Each structure stands twice: as C-alpha cells, then as structure tokens.
A and B are shown apart, each in its own frame.
Chain A
Amino acid sequence: MIDNGLLVQMLIGALLGLSVYLPLAAGQLSLATPAFYAVGGTLAALLSTRWSALGATAAGTLPLGSLVLELLLGGLLAGLLALLVGRLVLRLQGIYLAIATIALVEILRVAILNLPFTGGAVGIFGIPQPFATAAGYVLPALALLALAGWWCQRLEGMPLGRAMAAIRDDELAARCMGIDTTNVKLSAFVLSAVLAGSTGALAAHFLNTWNARQGSFDVSITTLAFVVLGGSRSWLGPVVGGLLLTALPELLRPVGDVRLVLFGLVILLGPVLAPQGLITPALLARLGRWGEEKER
C-alpha cells in the first residue's frame, strides 16, 4: 500500500521528471536537473538551519510561510544559475550538451562537498519541519506539481511552447522562420531549473537531511528514465513516469531480494515495448475523442 511518505517521494519524482522534460520539449537533452535540485535543497537546508529569521524553533518546527519563501528562493537561485550557465552550454547540441550538463552536475556536487558551510560529506542534518507528518508534504508537493502541470498545459498553446516544439522538430527551420532559438532554449532551460530548485527545497525538508549525494549523476539517469518510460511528447509522460518509477521499487518489496532485478527489467522492457513512452500523442488524442462518437 502507498502511504503518504511514498506518495510525496512519487510527487517529487514527477516534478523532477517535468524538469527534465522542459528542455527536452525544445529538443535539448539536458541532464542538469540534479544540479539545480541540489542548489535548491542546499539553499533550503542552509536557510532553515542557520537563518533564525525564518522562525525555526528549538523543537524543530518551521512556519509554513518560511517554507513557501524557501521554495521561491530555491527556484530563483537555480533559475539565476541556469541563466548564467545556459548561455554558454546551450551553444552545444545533442550529446555534447548532455556531457556539458553532466559536468555541471559534477562541479556542483564537488563544490557542495567542499564548501566550508555545507557540512562536507555528512551534509546538513536536523532540518526543521513545517509539518508534523509526511501527510503534510502531500499538499505543497501536489500544489507545485499542479502549478507546473497547468503551466506546461498552457505552454502548448503559447508562442513560447510552439517555438519550443518547432525547435524540437527542426532547429534550422525554426530559425529560418524567425524564431529566436537561443532565447527560447534558454527560457526552457531556466524554467526547468526553477522547477528543480523549488523541488529541491521541498525535498530537503521532507528528507530531514541534505548532502552532496542528493544531486549526483545517478539522479540524472534516474530522472531521464522517468521521461524515457513516461514519454517525452506530452508533459503528462514524465509525470506518469516519475510517479510509477518512484513507486515501483517500494511496491515490489513483497518479492524480496529480486525486487531491483524486476525494477531493472521494467526499465529495460519499457522502451522496448513502448518506444514513445507510455503517454503518446495518439493516446491523448484517443482520450480526447472518447465519448464523441456516441454523441454523434
């Protein structure tokens, strides 16, 4: 059975999946999501444990308003960082961009490991809690996901979203049509970073502790798997992929020691059986037409 704690982890997975999806919707394979996730998480961990103005008490509680502020600041800082590095790395394409973003993840991981105020390898622990139980985290995580989903849904009808789709289909043709491809790609990259930064800030509180391991190359691959399994043609793909792949290892616990073998099989067979992912445009079109035939 899925308890609220696992549900929050699933929602965080879905948010990270969306963060990988956004640059991909503009045709950019960026694996930088864990870097921005780590920035948001580290910032929230530092602020809530060191900055008394946020109102953390000795009993380890935190006012809700401070959490919202941290979500905003985490997103903002990650977005600023993305704006700075985006101009440089987005000149690269395809696999070269992927490698550059992996480097970004590594640089940030090593930086967080070695900075004098981030607790080294042990990290920051005793992060104050805005909620008494895991159930409390469901609401902010769901709200963040709903906001991101609403934005992605709107994006498909907005000029920015269409420009992103055009670049994904053919960047050269898009540029010839007069689309400012650099700025569109940068916007998608920054949006992805803001989402990952806010998610990190929420995750730091949920996990009670934060260290450099949270934003590692492993997370890049896991989050990419969310998009590959779920599908990269609609924002619902990474959401479904993130929810499913986060829950699966936990739901497989009854099978015992082979559960990770089964999990690996799912990741292997997913793209083989559904090359476009679980959520394809055709599926969405079928869902959209559902019921129409009867009306006619």
Chain B
Amino acid sequence: MTPTPPPSTVVRQRGALRLAALLAAGIGALAWLGRSSDPAAQPLTAGPLTLGAAIAFTGNANLYGQDQRMGLAVAERWAQQAGPPARPVRVLLEDGASDEASAIAAFNLLIRQGVIALIGPTLSQQAFAADPIAQRLGVPVVAPSNTAKGIPEIGHFISRVSAQSSVIAPLSLDEALRRDPGIRRVAVFYAQDDAYSTAEVAIFEKALAARRLTPVTVQRTQLADNDFQTPITAALQLRPQLLVLSVQAVAGGNLIRQLRELGYRGQIVVGNGLNTPNIYPICQRWCDGILIAQAYSPELNTPINRRFQQLFRQAHGDRPPPQITAQAFTSYQVLFEAIQRLQRKGGLTGVTLGQARTRLMAELLRGRYDTPLGPIGFTPKGEVLQDRFYVAEVRMAPGGRDGRFALVRERTLQEAKP
C-alpha cells in the first residue's frame, strides 16, 4: 500500500510540473530563435569589412590578451594613417576569456555578427575548441599567439602568424653552446600542468638530444607555483652548467630570481613564456643575462618595424613593444593587406559573405607580407613561413627595475623546419 501524499506535496509537485513546462517552452523558444545564425548566405554589403578578434581580457591569460589588444589598436592606427584603403576594415573586439567555452561563445557571437575573418583565440587549448567551429562555418582564422603543434591542421580556414615553438626554441640553446662549448650538464624545469610548457619542453629535450646533451635532471613544477626552493635545491646538487626553463611569465620570473639567490651562476635559457617585459619587475637584476629566442625583435631595422615602434611608443610611452603585441599587429596586417588585394582584383564584388570569406582565405595564403616580424608567408595549410628569428639577452638597467631584450644574434632559416 502506498501512502497518500499530503495535499501540500501534490500542490507543490503540480507547481513544479507547471514551472518545468514553462521552462521547456522557454528553452524551445530560445532554440527556435537562436537557430541558423550565420549570415554567410547574405550578399556582402558595401562599406567597411569587420574583423572579429576574440582574445583574453579575463582569466589567467589576460596578461597576453592586454598585449594583444595594444597590438590590434596600433594596427588600426597604422591602417588609418597609411592613406585611404581600397576597402576600409574595422575590428570588433570580444573577450574570449581563458577557457574553452568562452572562446566558443565569442567565436559564435562574432561569426553571427557577420565578420569576414577572425583573430584569436589567445591560448592554443582554446583554439582546439573554437577553431573547429570557424572551420565548419568557413570563416578564416588567423591565430596571433597559438604555438602548439596541430593548430593549422584543424582545417584549411585556420592559419597562424605565431611560429611554432619547435622552430624558435632550439636557437637559444645554440647561442648558449656557442658561448660555452664545454657544457655537458643541463637541468630542465617546466610546468607539467600547462599546455604551453609541456609542448615546449618536449622540443627543448629533442633539441638537447640533437646536440648530444642529456639533461641531468628534469624538474616538474605546477602552473601556480611561486616557491621553487625544493626543485632548485634538487637540481643544483647535480651541478648543472646550463638551465633550461619552460614556464609562464610570473612563475619564471620567480624561478630565475630564486635560482640566482640560491647560488646558481651558470647560463639560463628560457622559453617563449618569459618573452615579455612583464618579467623585469619580478626577477629584477637577477634577470640579467638570460637567453631567449624570439620571433620578434624590437631592434629589427625595417621600415614597417620602425613605423610599428613609432606608433606603439606614441600610444604607450617610451618602451619597446613585446613580441605578442607585434604578432597581434601582424595578424591584423596580413588580413588587411589580403583584403585590399582582393578588393583591387574585384574579388569582393557581387559575392555573398560566405564566398568572400573563402576568397579571402585563398588570398591570405597566397600573399607574402613585410611585417614587423620580418618577411612572412604561409604554407598551403596555413602555417606561418617566417625565416628570420632572433636570439636576445636580457640586459637590466643599473637600478634593476627595467631592462630590455638586447638582440645578440639574428638567425635566418630557409623555412619552418620542425
């Protein structure tokens, strides 16, 4: 026998059912209203074309996102001051945050607003989530800062201007070995819960092996670590002659400082995560002398880089722009130039937005570009072809508060080799 439920329960359950029905109707209405939202089939309107940029303004990648925002703003000013363009271009910025779901939402939002191409997202992990959406809808993507393996392979609409770490990272090792050919004992540090670090450290280890060096120790740290006494002590007991660090900026600054404070005097080679002036206030005078390979050098003396520097300094005071800002500038520049070429050829008249996106992608990959990074182009897959890379040494000012990446060597590679 089942007991009869008290009337209040029956009433409540009826209320719950009614509310559930209401919710279901609401969700149904939202699904109906939000369907097929990509305006690709509409004819391309006259007037300025829109580039959508989904970059991280919030979350743990926002340090990079802020640098990228500066790069895009400088690029817009560069385009305005270069004279009237064949086709004006404007940028729509959206916060792609630092997680996968937000990047997907930002991409969907921008695509629905009818952008002709997308710039972003900031992190490679986000790219693996959001890029397939752009690929399926046929929207060109230029990644300004995704360095992981496999990004252009997501599809033919996906490209990047940020060279893979595999191309850049080994160059700084060569410089360290040139300075001290007797190096035999190498210690490696990396953050094991970080996608960038784990990918880059594999490249460093491969490059070390190719130079007949076996690390005497590989110390794993965590992304959020700031105290490295234990791994440093463990590593220094093995008397390394060279340290290779692949960690993010804040952790890396602390790690270098603690290494020096605990008595390490040898050379330090760092990865792309420390490729930002934001490390100077953290490791201060202890930053001095670290070696880093870069895809961009503020000291490159070309007309476009001088112009970029000039515009950057006008807006942000007398300091050199970071690499990630230069790469964001470049992502805008390649799209802008491809659009102008396409417009002059008449490729943007009498087409739908979807067709214009396809044509822009083809035009983008065909072109060669003279950028602040140096001359670049793309492989048919969308991988950047950059042949000039730089090895820099951090030189701190006497006060130890500020410094610069001093160019010590410029390297030319014929093409991006793994």
Whether B150 lies near A153 (C-beta < 8 A) is: no
Q: How far is the CA of A156 from the CA of B13 in the complex (A)?
A: 8
Q: How far is the CA of A185 from the CA of B140 in the complex (A)?
A: 51
Whether A288 lies near B27 (C-beta < 8 A) is: no
Nearest chain A CB to B377 CB, angstrom units: 26
B101 interface hit (Cβ, 8 Å): yes
Whether B34 lies near A236 (C-beta < 8 A) is: no
Nearest chain A CB to B29 CB, angstrom units: 10
Chain B residue numbers with a CB within 8 Å of A209 are 100, 125, 128-129
Whether A236 lies near B20 (C-beta < 8 A) is: yes
Q: How far is the CA of A30 from the CA of B22 in the complex (A)?
A: 29
Whether B104 lies near A207 (C-beta < 8 A) is: yes
Whether B150 lies near A125 (C-beta < 8 A) is: yes
Interface size on B, residues (CB 8 A): 55
B148 interface hit (Cβ, 8 Å): yes
Nearest chain B CB to A237 CB, angstrom units: 10
B-contacting 9-mer, from A72-80, A93-101, A132-140, A194-202: A132-140
Q: Which residue of A lies closest to B10 (CB)?
A: A288
Whether A287 lies near B5 (C-beta < 8 A) is: no
Whether B20 lies near A288 (C-beta < 8 A) is: no
Which interface residue of B10, B58, B193 has the most chain A CB atoms within 10 A? Answer: B193
Whether A285 lies near B104 (C-beta < 8 A) is: no
Whether B11 lies near A288 (C-beta < 8 A) is: yes
Whether A3 lies near B112 (C-beta < 8 A) is: yes
- Which among B18, B197, B198 is the interface contact of A288 at CB below 8 angstroms? B18
- Contact flags (1/0) for B7-38 with A, using CB distance below 8 Å? 01111111111111001100100110111110
- Which among B13, B27, B129, B154 is the interface contact of A153 at CB below 8 angstroms? B13
Q: How far is the CA of A289 from the CA of B199 in the complex (A)?
A: 61
Q: Which residue of A lies closest to B223 (CB)?
A: A121
- Which among B15, B34, B125 is the interface contact of A123 at CB below 8 angstroms? B125
Nearest chain B CB to A220 CB, angstrom units: 15
Chain B residue numbers with a CB within 8 Å of A129 are 132, 136
- Contact flags (1/0) for B172-214 with A, using CB distance below 8 Å? 0000000000000000000011110111000000000000000
Within 8 A of B (CB), among A228-253: 234-236, 239-240, 243, 249-250, 253
Which interface residue of B10, B23, B148, B150 has the most chain A CB atoms within 10 A? Answer: B23
Whether B11 lies near A285 (C-beta < 8 A) is: yes
Q: Which residue of B lies closest to A153 (CB)?
A: B16
Whether A121 lies near B18 (C-beta < 8 A) is: no
- Which among B35, B94, B136, B194 is the interface contact of A4 at CB below 8 angstroms? B35
- Contact flags (1/0) for A1-19 with B, using CB distance below 8 Å? 1111111010100000000
Chain A residue numbers with a CB within 8 Å of B193 are 113, 121, 212
Q: How far is the CA of A261 from the CA of B188 in the complex (A)?
A: 40
- Contact flags (1/0) for A269-288 with B, using CB distance below 8 Å? 00000000001010111111
Nearest chain A CB to B141 CB, angstrom units: 13
A117 interface hit (Cβ, 8 Å): no
A260 interface hit (Cβ, 8 Å): yes
Interface size on A, residues (CB 8 A): 59
Nearest chain B CB to A294 CB, angstrom units: 15
Q: Which residue of A lies closest to B93 (CB)?
A: A256
Which interface residue of A2, A126, A138, A209 has the most chain B CB atoms within 10 A? Answer: A209
A290 interface hit (Cβ, 8 Å): yes
Interchain Cβ contacts within 8 Å, total number: 157
Whether B104 lies near A7 (C-beta < 8 A) is: no
Nearest chain A CB to B37 CB, angstrom units: 5
A211 interface hit (Cβ, 8 Å): yes
Nearest chain A CB to B24 CB, angstrom units: 7
- Which among B5, B10, B17, B27 is the interface contact of A11 at CB below 8 angstroms? B27
Whether A253 lies near B109 (C-beta < 8 A) is: yes
Q: How far is the CA of A134 from the CA of B95 in the complex (A)?
A: 20
A122 interface hit (Cβ, 8 Å): yes
Whether A6 lies near B125 (C-beta < 8 A) is: no
Whether A257 lies near B57 (C-beta < 8 A) is: yes
Whether B19 lies near A236 (C-beta < 8 A) is: yes
B165 interface hit (Cβ, 8 Å): no
Which interface residue of A113, A146, A207, A249 has the most chain B CB atoms within 10 A? Answer: A207
Q: Which residue of B lies closest to A12 (CB)?
A: B101
Whether B58 lies near A260 (C-beta < 8 A) is: yes
- Contact flags (1/0) for B29-69 with A, using CB distance below 8 Å? 01101111100000000000000000001100000000000
Q: Which residue of A lies closest to B58 (CB)?
A: A260
Whether B5 lies near A208 (C-beta < 8 A) is: no
A130 interface hit (Cβ, 8 Å): no
Whether A213 lies near B37 (C-beta < 8 A) is: no
Nearest chain B CB to A207 CB, angstrom units: 5
Q: How far is the CA of A281 from the CA of B17 in the complex (A)?
A: 13
Nearest chain B CB to A286 CB, angstrom units: 7
Whether B136 lies near A133 (C-beta < 8 A) is: yes
Give me the 9 closest cross-chain CB pairs, A-B, nearest first: A288-B15, A287-B15, A284-B15, A209-B128, A125-B128, A288-B11, A288-B14, A3-B34, A121-B195
Q: List 27 A-B contacts (CB under 8 A).
A: A1-B37, A3-B108, A3-B112, A4-B34, A122-B124, A123-B125, A126-B154, A129-B136, A133-B36, A134-B108, A146-B24, A212-B193, A213-B100, A235-B16, A236-B16, A257-B57, A259-B95, A284-B13, A284-B15, A284-B16, A284-B19, A286-B15, A287-B14, A287-B15, A288-B10, A288-B12, A289-B15
Residues of A within 8 A of B (CB): 1-7, 9, 11, 60, 113-114, 120-123, 125-126, 129, 132-135, 138, 142, 146, 149, 153, 156-157, 207-209, 211-214, 234-236, 239-240, 243, 249-250, 253, 257, 259-260, 279, 281, 283-290
In addition to A1-B33, A284-B16, 7 A-B residue pairs with Cβ atoms within 8 Å of each other are A7-B27, A120-B192, A132-B136, A133-B36, A236-B23, A257-B95, A288-B14
